[in-house]
Amino acid sequence: MAVRPTPELAADADARFADIADPVEQALVVLRWAGETFGADFAITSSMADGLLAHLASRAIPGVNVVFLDTGYHFAETIGTRDWITGVLPITLVNATPPQTVAEQDLSFGPRLFERDPDLCCELRKVKPLAQALAGFAAWGSGVRRDESPTRAGTRLVDWDATRGMVKVNPMAAWTQDDVDAYVAEHQVPVNPLFELGYGSIGCEPCTRPVAPGRTRAPAAGPVGARPSAASTPDGGPRPTPRVTGPWDGAAPARHHGWHVPSSTPLPDQIAAALPELPEWSGDAGGIRRSVQLPTFRDAVAAIVAIADVAEEMDHHPDVDLRWRTLHLSVVTHSAGGVTELDLQLARRIDSLLPH
Ligand code: SF4
């Protein structure tokens, strides 16, 4: 290992790079520092939603390791994008796979585990394989941006990942959507063609659906295959919620199509910082809960119906338990292993329907 990763090393680097005004230059400087400091012990992650971070990283560190979590459930388009990016950029693909193939998992746990126990499915096919893949590195990077959500507003360029005991770099932390669009257009960055088909972000095929309603920004006109104007994700049931986020932290930035689908689970302290905005809710980064008593049983049922409308609209669903006239609600993105920005949005919408 070239250099031992420490919190002090991360804090020092973060302070040194914070004042670089040009976002592209800043990202390249951060990535160059990571490459020079950690050498082959540095990797970025990518969900293969696009090749933006891989493009930047390969400019700064030719041959850079790019970890892709190959769950066995990806769309053919995603695998094609992976191969496309690997073919055109000077990167070293690290294709992280679960210990069991989908067929082997079906034999062990029964078919369509993602329907019956998505938490276990994600644990087996995402959480553990990613942890295993990153365990061999001293530092890693993702495409998380501060403008993606309030919980990411404090994202540092260089941070300490205490959970993994690694340095974590976020070279695009200060980027805006316009920066993303400009870079993609200028460099003709490969983009997953699923975005052209209405998908807001890209995850496992059984758990990802197109996002139609409520686009906040139309895709830019441009050649097919070039990146649409919106930014990005990582990712990614019946629980037929769109399991489009993965447990990793931002292989690519989150797209602004429809409901914001976060690219990762915010860090526990980021969730803790967001919870005061939801005083009716308790819990932590592992899940949030709210109980509310309605005047009558009929009112409680009506509240559930109203919540159901919002849940269907958002394509994201809370767990609901009704005891006479008291509703117990629980919100978490099981596939991400914790609370995401989408959960916070759902909680806010539920609050707008219920008495305080
Ligand atoms: S997102 Fe769906 S298919 Fe993919 S690992 Fe999780 S539950 Fe399984």
User: 39-60 pLDDT, tens per residue?
Assistant: 999 999 999 999 999 999 999 9
More confident residue, 323 or 36: 36
The pLDDT of residue 272: 74
More confident residue, 339 or 122: 122
pLDDT level of residue 266 (50, 70, 90 thresholds)? low
Rounded CA separation 23/20 (Å): 7
Rounded CA separation 207/247 (Å): 14
Please provide the DSSP assignment of 251-271 as one string. Answer: SSPPP-SSS---SSPPPHHHH
pLDDT(99) > 50: yes
- Cβ 243 under 6 angstroms from ligand 1: yes
- Binding-site members are 121-122, 204, 207
Selection from 199, 207, 204 nearest residue 116 by Cα: 207
CA of 121 to the centre of ligand 1 (A): 6
Distance of CA 128 to the CA centre of its chain: 16
The pLDDT of residue 354: 85
The pLDDT of residue 267: 59
CA of 263 to the centre of ligand 1 (A): 15
CA of 205 to the centre of ligand 1 (A): 8
The pLDDT of residue 284: 83
More confident residue, 309 or 116: 116
- Token pair in block for residue 113: 């585990």
Rounded CA separation 251/297 (Å): 45
**Gap between the terminal Cα atoms of the chain:** 54
Contact 180, 187 (CB under 8 A): no
Rounded to an integer, the average pLDDT of 63-72 is 98
Into which CATH architecture does domain 7-207 fall? Answer: 3-Layer(aba) Sandwich (3.40)
- Cβ 122 under 6 angstroms from ligand 1: yes
Q: Where in the chain is the domain with CATH 3.40.50.620?
A: 7-207
The pLDDT of residue 212: 52
- Cβ 207 under 6 angstroms from ligand 1: yes
Distance of CA 146 to the CA centre of its chain: 13
Element (H, E) at 147: none
User: Three-state SS across 197-237?
Assistant: HCECCCCEHHHCCECCCCCCCCCCCCCECECCCCCCCCECC
Mutate which of 71, 97, 101 for ligand 1? The one with the most ligand atoms within 8 Å of its CB, which is 71
- Cβ 13 under 6 angstroms from ligand 1: no
More confident residue, 223 or 143: 143
Mutate which of 101, 123, 125, 264 for ligand 1? The one with the most ligand atoms within 8 Å of its CB, which is 125
Rounded to an integer, the average pLDDT of 256-281 is 60
Into which CATH architecture does domain 268-353 fall? Answer: 2-Layer Sandwich (3.30)
Q: Where in the chain is the domain with CATH 3.30.1360.20?
A: 268-353
Rounded to an integer, the average pLDDT of 217-238 is 30
The pLDDT of residue 1: 53
pLDDT, one tens digit per residue, over 173-205 is 999 999 999 999 999 999 999 988 888 778 999
More confident residue, 121 or 350: 121
Mutate which of 244, 335, 342 for ligand 1? The one with the most ligand atoms within 8 Å of its CB, which is 335
Rounded CA separation 211/254 (Å): 13
Rounded CA separation 183/170 (Å): 17
Mutate which of 70, 75, 114, 265 for ligand 1? The one with the most ligand atoms within 8 Å of its CB, which is 114
- Cβ 125 under 6 angstroms from ligand 1: yes
pLDDT level of residue 241 (50, 70, 90 thresholds)? very low
CA of 248 to the centre of ligand 1 (A): 13
- Token pair in block for residue 355: 């008495």
The pLDDT of residue 2: 63
Cβ of 8: how many Cβ atoms within 10 Å?
Answer: 9
pLDDT(114) > 70: yes
- Cβ 69 under 6 angstroms from ligand 1: no
- Binding-site members for [4Fe-4S] cluster are 121-122, 204, 207
- Cβ 336 under 6 angstroms from ligand 1: no
More confident residue, 213 or 134: 134
Rounded CA separation 251/117 (Å): 25
What ranges in the chain are assigned the alpha helix state H?
7-17, 23-38, 52-60, 76-88, 102-109, 113-116, 118-122, 128-134, 177-187, 268-274, 297-314, 341-353
pLDDT(131) > 80: yes
pLDDT(25) > 70: yes
